[in-house]
């Protein structure tokens, strides 16, 4: 049996374990928020935003941000049908309706033309999910938002390191949300971050995030509203602080892995990797291969071929509207068609050149079968 190749795992060094040990041993009492505050300030500075609130997950960050914007019963939020359910669940929990539209065939991100056609008097926001590190067409989405009076929210869970016209993904919309799950470029094990440069929105979300206790409230244990509890722990934040000190090298390594796959597969017709338009930088969280229908390559064949070589490969997201809790939208042709001929490739930071060779060879063998 050939050595096992994982599709992902975090990059953890002595720095992370040292900070975590310090937080576990000493991060209590007066120091109980020390790493948390440091992580929030550092991440905000990295993004170039004014405010950041560390959360238990990206889902929690989205929930808080949408609640802060007043999204609720009777409202609609337009988002791509190609997504993980974490993008849609906060909308549902807030009593609003997710409206699923198709994706572009090249970036697999939300199609602005489909967004425009889906707008109704009940539409409150557009959720732009930067899938696998690919950047949404923010120019078009922001223009639609301005013309129709709609908010544009960035789900940047998968887009650490991605940029649009020199600005970091997640820093451009009304607010951004990030994930630090163990699979992500920067990890705290579990965790997320709400970010914004809107002072008023920040204050509302900050209050909501702490059980409704306003920052200026002087009475102890006195909430000013019914809020939420999506807080990150100080121990988790300590790992995040260490990761943040290494963020540029973590991003660069992910981008170099993507470049390695491009070089190995460049001569193949009929297979497409994550795009990177000239005005963007792709953070390359998850290198993904999408095969033309003409190749006859299917998800099931891909899974079987990689399993035979003892290589993990992750399937492309199912369309959300194909899930049993939602109404099917097969008219979203790209979202429904692409997953059946696509695969996510291994991309953890310590992936070696020889391991990339093995992965690329599986792709090549399917096209030459």
What's the pTM?
0.96
- Residues 137-152 have a mean pLDDT of 98
Q: What's the pLDDT tens digit per position in 182-227? A: 999 999 999 999 999 999 999 999 999 999 999 888 898 999 999 9
> In the structure, what pLDDT confidence band is assigned to residue 369 with cuts at 50, 70 and 90?
low
The tokens for 7 are 């599709």
Looking at every residue in the chain, the average pLDDT score rounds to 97
Measured CA to CA in angstroms, residue 241 lies from 54, 93, 193 at distances of 12, 31, 13
Asked if 294 contacts 270 with a C-beta cutoff of 8 angstroms, the reply is yes
pLDDT of 130 reads 98
pLDDT tens-digit series, residues 251-301 = 999 999 999 999 999 999 999 999 999 999 999 999 999 999 999 999 999
What pLDDT does 216 receive? 85
Over 70: is that where the pLDDT of 48 sits?
yes
- Label residue 41 by pLDDT band (50, 70, 90): very high
Alpha carbons 347 and 331: distance in angstroms, whole number: 32
Q: Report the chain's terminal Cα–Cα distance, integer Å.
A: 22
- In the structure encoding, which two tokens stand for residue 322, read together? 């194909």
312-328 average pLDDT score: 97
Phi, psi at 52, each rounded to 5°: -150, 140
For residues 303-316, average pLDDT: 96
Domains of the chain by start residue, with CATH: 14-101+108-245 (3.40.640.10), 247-367 (3.90.1150.10)
The two tokens of residue 148 are 């129709």
Q: Which residues make Cβ contacts (< 8 Å) with residue 336, sequence separation at least 6?
A: 81, 319, 322, 329, 330
Quick one: pLDDT at residue 21? Answer: 98
CA proximity to 241, closest of 19, 17, 11: 19
> How far is residue 137's CA from residue 116's CA, in Å, rounded to a whole number?
13
Q: What is the pLDDT of residue 198?
A: 98
Confidence band (pLDDT; 50, 70, 90) for 368? confident
What confidence tens digit (pLDDT) does each residue in 78-112 have?
999 999 999 999 999 999 999 999 999 999 999 99
Helix (H, G, I), strand (E, B) or coil at 45: helix
The residue-averaged pLDDT of 41-69 equals 98
How many beta carbons lie within 10 A of that of residue 329, not counting itself?
18
Does 367 have pLDDT greater than 90?
A: no
Dihedral sign for Cα atoms in the order 310, 316, 322, 323? positive
């Amino acid at each position: 049996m050939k050595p096992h190749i994982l599709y992902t795992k975090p990059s953890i060094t002595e720095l992370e374990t040292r900070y975590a040990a310090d937080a576990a041993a000493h991060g209590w009492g007066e120091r109980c928020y020390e790493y948390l505050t440091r992580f929030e300030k550092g991440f905000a500075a990295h993004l170039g935003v004014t405010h950041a609130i560390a959360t238990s997950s990206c889902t929690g960050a989205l929930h808080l941000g949408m609640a802060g914007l007043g999204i609720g019963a009777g409202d609609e939020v337009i988002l791509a049908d190609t997504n993980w359910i974490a993008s849609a669940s906060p909308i549902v929990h807030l009593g609003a309706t997710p409206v699923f539209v198709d994706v572009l065939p090249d970036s697999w991100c939300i199609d602005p033309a489909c967004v425009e056609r889906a707008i109704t008097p009940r539409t409150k926001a557009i959720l732009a999910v930067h899938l696998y590190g690919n950047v949404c067409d923010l120019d078009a989405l922001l223009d639609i938002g301005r013309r129709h009076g709609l908010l544009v929210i960035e789900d940047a869970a998968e887009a650490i390191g991605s940029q649009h016209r020199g600005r970091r993904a997640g820093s451009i919309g009304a607010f951004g949300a990030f994930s630090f799950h163990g699979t992500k470029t920067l990890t705290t094990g579990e965790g997320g971050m709400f970010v914004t440069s809107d002072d008023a929105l920040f204050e509302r979300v900050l209050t909501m995030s702490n059980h409704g206790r306003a920052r200026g409230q002087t009475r102890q244990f006195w909430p000013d509203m019914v809020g939420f509890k999506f807080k990150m722990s100080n121990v988790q934040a300590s790992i995040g602080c260490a990761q943040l000190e290494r963020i540029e090298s973590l991003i660069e390594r992910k981008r170099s892995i993507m470049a390695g796959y491009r070089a190995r597969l460049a001569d193949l017709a009929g297979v497409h990797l994550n795009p990177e338009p000239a005005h963007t930088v792709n953070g390359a969280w998850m290198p993904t291969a999408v095969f033309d229908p003409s190749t006859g390559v299917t998800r099931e064949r891909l899974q079987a071929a990689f399993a035979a070589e003892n290589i993990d490969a992750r399937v492309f997201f199912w369309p959300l509207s194909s899930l049993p809790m939602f109404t099917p939208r097969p008219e979203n042709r790209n979202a429904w068609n692409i997953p059946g001929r696509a695969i996510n490739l291994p991309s953890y930071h310590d992936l070696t050149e020889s391991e990339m060779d093995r992965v690329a060879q599986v792709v090549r063998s399917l096209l030459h079968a």
